[in-house]
Amino acid sequence: DAKTTQPPSMDCAEGRAANLPCNHSTISGNEYVYWYRQIHSQGPQYIIHGLKNNETNEMASLIITEDRKSSTLILPHATLRDTAVYYCIVRVGGAGGTSYGKLTFGQGTILTVHP
C-alpha cells in the first residue's frame, strides 16, 4: 500500500468547515483512499473512501486531485464531537490483491475543534 503524509495536528472552530489534507504521491491506479477517525478511547470509525471521483456522504466529503497524488477530507460544519485523530489510508481494493485484507494506518492528524 502507498504511504500517506498528514499534518500531525490541526485546529478548527466549531461550526466551520474542517479541511484535512493527505499526501499520497506514490498511489497506484488501483489503490483507494480511505479515511477513518478515532475518538479517544474508542475504535476507529470509517468515514469515507474513493478511487478517482469526489465522494460525499452524511459525514464528510472527499476531494481527490486529478493526478490522485493528494486528497482532502472535508467536515462541512465541525462540532466538538469531531475532535479525533483522522487517518488517511490508501489500500488495494478488489479480491486477490497482495495487500487484500490489510488496512495500514499512518500517524494521522489530531483535529481539535474549539468552541
Partner 1 sequence: DTEVTQTPKHLVMGMTNKKSLKCEQHMGHRAMYWYKQKAKKPPELMFVYSYEKLSINESVPSRFSPECPNSSLLNLHLHALQPEDSALYLCASSQAGGGRDEKLFFGSGTQLSVL
Site for partner 1, rule CB under 8 A:
32, 36, 38, 41-46, 49, 51, 85, 87, 93-97, 100-108
- Report, in Å, the least distance between residue 67 CB and partner 1: 21
- Report, in Å, the least distance between residue 100 CB and partner 1: 5
Of 18, 19, 46, nearest in space to 105 by CA: 46
Of 66, 86, 13, 15, nearest in space to 50 by CA: 66
Residue 38 grid cell: 478515532
Of 3, 63, 56, nearest in space to 31 by CA: 3
Alpha carbon distances (Å) from 105 to 5, 79, 81, 91, 111: 11, 24, 22, 10, 16
Of 58 and 115, CB closest to partner 1:
58
- Report, in Å, the least distance between residue 79 CB and partner 1: 21
Of 16 and 52, CB closest to partner 1:
52
Of 45 and 65, CB closest to partner 1:
45
- Report, in Å, the least distance between residue 21 CB and partner 1: 18
